[in-house]
A = this chain, B = another copy of it.
């Protein structure tokens, strides 16, 4: 990749709803952005918005100051770095790899150590915030890594984030904070779905329940954000059930390794698994409410 007019170059690997927005935020900030995705449709959309298409992660990352990896998990991140077409070797010495996938801290530490042995930098930078905030450059990132990694990534971070939490000088801390957040987020969505279906079972006016709860001590960020999907009967995936079978699965694995009990998160995970098992894995995570309704023979609002 060559910069237009000598400006900064970034690569974005993974051009889904989050990655494409982050790429566009980088472009707006003056970066020449090269991108890669396994999906031809995602690549085409990126090319339309003026992106430079790489045919492999290695090609996309060649010559970049910063590679932002926006894939799903640790295994995909490992493939992006060290797979047959991985970018670890093509990334210039001293450039930084910003990893935003949700993964166990141990996995982040392993990938960072392996990459840094080759003379590149690694930033452990999982994120919070949806596609809208990716597109307007106001994501929250929970980041940790060396001072050098932060320095090299700073212009790209400035372009993509509204809030950057600098959580320490070693990979793993960003991921640890993210997993605490995911434990809570996963429980809160399941609880929101349980509560709104419990309200439906009692015949309550669900719009009124939403209004009262969002003003009360029972409120959560997730209740406020997800229950409107139930009220609208709209289960198109803003964030899919499969994200939480994955993320609460990571929490369970971590907790078991640490010999630490997480029974509330465990109950929530079972609800996502039931919802996925009932055929809704790729639907919006508010579908957990549909699972309760299905079990109890309730009618929730239908999409109008």
Contacts and interface: CB of A to CB of B under 8 A. Distances in A.
Interface of A: 105, 128-129, 140, 142, 163, 165, 167, 173, 176-177, 180-185, 187-188, 190-192, 194-195, 197-199, 201-202, 204, 208-209, 211-213, 215-223, 225, 251, 254-255, 258-268, 270-271, 292, 295-296
Given A204-B176, A212-B165, A264-B271, A194 B185 contact: no
Contact of A181 (B165, B213, B254): B213
B267 A208 contact: no
26 contacts: A140-B215, A163-B215, A165-B211, A165-B215, A173-B204, A176-B204, A177-B204, A177-B209, A180-B204, A182-B218, A184-B213, A185-B216, A187-B194, A188-B191, A198-B251, A198-B255, A198-B260, A201-B260, A219-B221, A220-B223, A260-B292, A260-B296, A261-B292, A261-B295, A264-B264, A264-B267
Nearest to A127: B216
B264 A194 contact: yes
A167 B205 CA distance: 9
Nearest to A191: B187
A182 B217 CA distance: 8
Contact of A222 (B173, B180, B213, B217): B217
Nearest to A298: B260
A217 B139 CA distance: 11
A202 B181 CA distance: 14
A221 B3 CA distance: 47
Nearest to A251: B198
Contacts of A225: 217
A183 B198 contact: yes
A132 B186 CA distance: 31
B142 A212 contact: yes
A233 to B, nearest CB: 20
A191 B184 contact: yes
* Number of copies of this protein chain within its complex: 2
B181 A216 contact: yes
A185, A209, A225, A268 — which one has the most chain B CB atoms within 10 A of its CB?
A185
Contacts of A198: 180, 183, 251, 255, 260, 262
A128 B212 CA distance: 11
A296 B176 contact: no
